[in-house]
Structures are given as structure tokens and as C-alpha cells.
Structure 1
Amino acid sequence: MARAIWSGYITFGLVSVPVGMYSATQEHEIDFHQFQKGTSDRIRYKRVNERTGREVPYDKIVKGHDVGSGEYVIVEPEELEDIAPGKSRTLEIDTFVDLDEIDPMHFQKSYYLGPEDAENASSYALLRDALAKTNRAGIAKFVMRGKEYLATIRADGKVLVLETMFFADEIRDPDEELGGLPRKSATGKQLSMAVDLIEAMSGEWKPAAYKDTYTERVKELVKAKHAGKEVVYSEEEPQATNPSDLIAALRASVESARKARTATKTRAKKTTAKKSTAKKTAAKKTTAKKTTAKKTAKKQKRAA
């Protein structure tokens, strides 16, 4: 069993539920070390005192905040812990909101919350089932690793899931960051065809259908180079569609998407028909075996 990266209590009203927090996701990662080009010499990083040039042990390093003019305020780890003794052990829910009201942009990272012991499993199940029944998420704040997080706590099947979230002032204004966003709304035939294309390309959300092809290519590249081979990919970079060609591109895209959907449905029907035929054949064989077994048993009785 995995080790909890944080443990504490979910509190709502006068109820406290002891929980442990566990990572719910893991990213595809291929480890690379750094080398000096043309050599097999590793590049390594050290924590060095810029005045003495000497390496400093990790336990001798403290944090300092720049307050301007080259002056720093040094803060000890113990001081950071002392200012949030309760929050570092508490997920205090102050309100429950409808899940559909939360903009996905606020979500940051997912964690599983598990009951800390069997004795308190009933209170864990109570909160989980109540959240599922109401389609609500608890909004809470807590401190972990020297940082305060905003979080939602929601039900997902048998487990409670915590999503760390960005605070409102951490989300950048698109107008300030991007500028030049189109103010005029799309209308007419172009909009109608774009809607048709979206409808033609719509389907069920099947997360297992999506694979990390880039990571697979990196693995192939490493494997090929290790074997002394060369891997060449020749994909063309997409070009912006000319506004004058937009209608034609949309029309062709809609036709292509509809053909692809028809082909998918046809394959699905054939697969279903094959399975149905296989079941009927298996059922007939089973019935035939039972009939033969009964006839054999009757013959044996008569012979006796």
C-alpha cells in the first residue's frame, strides 16, 4: 500500500473525518541526465555558497525573502510550521457547491483521500455518499509543504477525491496576457458549418482511447540509437487556413467526419453481430451436449 503524503482531518460542521492523502495521478516521464556535448561527462548541480564557493549540506539551508535593495528576511522551517499549526492538519470545509459551477481552469492536481483507520470508515463513507447524492463538492483550505492550498473534495465511486485549485487571483486575465482577441462574434454559414462539424465529430468521452504517442516515440528513438539505427519522422507542420478557404475546409471536414462516424457504427454493428452469433452458437452447442448426455444416460439405464 502506498504511503500517505499528507494526513489530517476533513472537518465540516462539528464532524471530523481522519484521512490520508495519496497521489491519484502519475505523468509519463523518461529520465534524461545532462552531459557536456561531445563527451560522456555528466553535468551535476551543487548547492554552493556564492561567497565561499563551498558546497552546503541540505540541512544547513534556510529560506530568505527578498525585501529589496539586496536585503533578505531569513525564515526558519520551524517558524513556517508554527504560524499554521491547525491548518497543516485540517481540511476545513466552509461551504458545499455544485460541481457543475466550478470552472475546470481552477483545478490543479488530483489526490485520493482514504480513511485513516477502519474505526472511522463509516464517517468517511457517510461524507462520500452524501456528496455523490447531492452532486456537491466541499470547498476547503489546508497547508501542505509550506504552502496553503484551496481544494475541492468530491466523491468518485468508492473514493473521495481532492483537487487542489488555483486561487482566483492566480488565474491570469486573458485580455491582459493575450490581447488582440476577436471581439466580433461568428455568424452565418461559417458558424452553422462549424457547429455541424462539432456535432459530426462528437462522441463519448473514453479516456483509455488516448495514448501518449510522443513518449512512445522518444522510447523508440532511444532504443534505435542504442542499436545504432536512425529514426526519421516526416510529419508536416500544419498551416493556418486562409479565410477565403474556410467554407470549403469546413464542408470537406464535415463530410470526412460523417464518413468516419458511419464506418465506426458499421464496425460496431458487425462486432455486435459476431458476438451475438458466437453466443447463439455456444448456446446451441451447450444444448446439444446436454441433450446427448440425457440420451446417453437413458440408454445406460435401459441397458442396466
Structure 2
Amino acid sequence: MHTIWKGSISFGLVNIPIKLHAATEDGDIKLRSLHKACHTPIKYEKVCPACEVELNKEDIIKGFEVAKGKFVEISDDEIQALKESKEEKSVEIVDFIELKEIDPIYFDRSYFLSPSEGGKKAYGLLKEALVKTKKVGIAKMMIRSKEQLSVIRVYENILLVETIHYPDEVRKVEEVPNIPSEKNVTKKELDTAILLIDQLTTDFSPEKYHDEYRQKLEGLIEEKSKEKQTVLPAESRANADNVTDLMAALQASIDQSKPKKKTTNKRSKKAKAL
């Protein structure tokens, strides 16, 4: 499993060297955008709309829009200095709480944690302590250039870290429009709804749920591929034509270079005989 980064977990005076691994992956099927006329993949270029020129990496700087059309420029050196003020490869547990205290809306991404060299004993100690106390750790960590709030908990038999949103990143429910403020259902309607929920209540078995759209799309792609319903971009077709032309030219060259068969002049033979 690919290691995202190596660092350490600290709580109190205990320090655990660890490795971070992505616990989930995006299962979406990536479709490319093609030019309808020639089937060439579309390129997305960075262009300045004012100068009407294509930009290279060194032409681009970062900025924050403080007002409409007004920006504060932030240099890469300034950003790097802020990063260096924090330990980028450390996970500091600041509190321990019960997992049920965290609403699922706060959860973002999940990562597996594995012990690095010399960290197996301390790793096992933290894991067992979390199991015995039925607690999770609230920690701060730097990942992908952002200070993340995270939860460290036990998943099956390993430690898992889940990044969670800060409170100001979760939008207020008051901002959601058209929410009824008063109950407008009858008792009979409510009882019927509860009965339906009871009938559909079961144990959670994640393996029984499937992305049906993705499966159908995979089937469509496989079917089209088997039936050779594929297209080539213009450049690839040109390359294929060039290869064909080259092979033809080579064959013609070979044919021309073959030694010609000697023909016997019947008249000269007859002359010699006479």
C-alpha cells in the first residue's frame, strides 16, 4: 500500500513513528472529453484573459480576493514560512472523547496508520488503550498544506485517522431555504411512516450495496470495446497512416533492390551456333 507520508503521533510524552496510507479510493469512471470532429482529447490550458497569452508555471502567482477585483498577493516563500512554523509530519493528540459526540457531518477523509520502525510497541499501546476506554483521540495534523483537525480511532485491528471539518467549515442549517418550521403531519401519517421504517430496518452490511450506475457504465464500455466500437484521434490516425506509408515505402525499396533475373538473348545464341 502506498505511503502518503511518514511522521509521528504524540500524546503526552509518548511518541509513535507512523506511516499514513489512503484508506479509501474514488471508484468513479473517468471519462475524457474529446473533440467531436476528430476525437482528439481536449487540452485545458491556463490562459490570461487580459493578455490573451498561455501561461507557464513560473508566470503564475497566488493571491486572495479581498474585494471584487482586488487581490492580496501571497508569495510561495511566505506560504512556506507558515508551513515551517508547524511540524508538518506530526500528529498531536490534544483531547480524548467518545466517538458518538461527533456528528457525521464533520467527517471528511480516512487514512490508515501503520507503525514505522521502532514504533510497533507504542502503536499497540495506543490501540489497546483506545479499545479499553472506548475513546477516540482528537488531533491536529498538517496534510496537503492544510492544518487538519482529525480523529484517531481503532478500525478493525488498526489505527485510523479521519480528518474532520472545523466548525466554521460546516454551514449553518438556518441558511437552508424552505424548511418547514412547524409539524404539518397527522398522527396516522407518522405511524405509517414509522411502520415502514420498522419493516425496512436491518443490520448494516456494506457489501450488499453496489454502484449500479458504475457497473452499467463499465458494462457499456466493455461491450463497445469488444465490438471494436473505438475511435482514434486525428493524430493517432495520421501516425497510423504514416506507419502504413513507411511500410509501403520500405517494401518498395526492397523490391527495387532485388537483383533482376538475367534474360537469355535467343538471337545471340543462334548467331553463335551459326
2:261 aligned partner: none
1:113 aligned partner: 113
Q: Is the CA contact 2:7–2:18 (under 8 Å) kept in the aligned structure 1? A: yes
Q: Look up the SS of the partner of 2:196 in the other structure.
A: helix
Q: Is the CA contact 2:10–2:92 (under 8 Å) kept in the aligned structure 1? A: yes
1:100 aligned partner: 100
1:28 aligned partner: 27
What does 1:34-183 align with in structure 2 at a 5 Å threshold? 34-58=33-57, 61-68=60-67, 70-85=69-84, 86-117=86-117, 119-183=118-182
Q: Look up the SS of the partner of 1:125 in the other structure.
A: helix
CA shift for structure 1 position 50? 4.1
CA shift for structure 1 position 55? 3.5
Q: Look up the SS of the partner of 1:83 in the other structure.
A: helix
1:251 aligned partner: none
CA shift for structure 1 position 135? 1.5
Distance 1:77 1:7, change over 3 A: farther
Q: Look up the SS of the partner of 2:219 in the other structure.
A: helix
Q: Is the CA contact 1:175–1:181 (under 8 Å) kept in the aligned structure 2? A: no
Q: Look up the SS of the partner of 2:217 in the other structure.
A: helix
CA shift for structure 1 position 66? 1.9
One-letter code aligned to 1:148: E
Question: What TM-score comes out, normalization by structure 1 length?
Answer: 0.68
Distance 1:71 1:172, change over 3 A: closer
Q: Any idea what the Cα deviations from partners look like across 1:53-96, whole Å, max 9, x if unmatched?
A: 44333355332112335333332334223213334222111111
Q: Quick check: 37-46 or 142-151, which moved more?
A: 37-46
2:203 aligned partner: 204
Distance 1:214 1:182, change over 3 A: farther
CA shift for structure 1 position 194? 1.8
One-letter code aligned to 1:90: S
Q: Aligned partners of 2:174 and 2:221: how far apart in 1?
A: 42
Q: Look up the SS of the partner of 1:128 in the other structure.
A: helix
Question: What TM-score comes out, normalization by structure 2 length?
Answer: 0.75
Alignment root-mean-square deviation, CA: 2.4
1:3 aligns with 2:2: yes
Q: Is the CA contact 1:114–1:159 (under 8 Å) kept in the aligned structure 2? A: yes
One-letter code aligned to 2:90: T
CA shift for structure 1 position 40? 1.4
1:248 aligned partner: none
Q: Quick check: 43-52 or 221-230, which moved more?
A: 221-230
One-letter code aligned to 1:102: I
Q: Aligned partners of 1:95 and 1:176: how far apart in 2?
A: 31
Larger RCO, structures 1/2 (Cα 8 Å, 6+ apart): 2
CA shift for structure 1 position 155? 0.8
One-letter code aligned to 1:208: E
Q: Is the CA contact 1:152–1:165 (under 8 Å) kept in the aligned structure 2? A: yes
Q: Is the CA contact 2:18–2:119 (under 8 Å) kept in the aligned structure 1? A: no
Q: Is the CA contact 1:25–1:111 (under 8 Å) kept in the aligned structure 2? A: yes
Q: Is the CA contact 2:83–2:145 (under 8 Å) kept in the aligned structure 1? A: no
Q: Aligned partners of 1:138 and 1:121: how far apart in 2?
A: 18
Higher percent of residues as helix = 1
Q: Look up the SS of the partner of 1:180 in the other structure.
A: coil
What does 1:188-267 align with in structure 2 at a 5 Å threshold? 188-226=187-225
Q: Is the CA contact 1:65–1:72 (under 8 Å) kept in the aligned structure 2? A: yes
Q: Look up the SS of the partner of 2:47 in the other structure.
A: coil
Q: Is the CA contact 2:150–2:162 (under 8 Å) kept in the aligned structure 1? A: yes
Structure of higher CA gyration radius: 2
Alignment: residue pair count: 228
Alignment gaps of 5+ in structure 1 = 231-304
1:13 aligned partner: 12
Q: Is the CA contact 1:108–1:166 (under 8 Å) kept in the aligned structure 2? A: yes
Alignment gaps of 5+ in structure 2 = 230-274
Q: Is the CA contact 2:154–2:160 (under 8 Å) kept in the aligned structure 1? A: yes
Q: Is the CA contact 2:65–2:71 (under 8 Å) kept in the aligned structure 1? A: yes
Distance 1:32 1:204, change over 3 A: same
Q: Aligned partners of 1:218 and 1:185: how far apart in 2?
A: 42
CA shift for structure 1 position 208? 0.7
Q: Look up the SS of the partner of 2:3 in the other structure.
A: coil
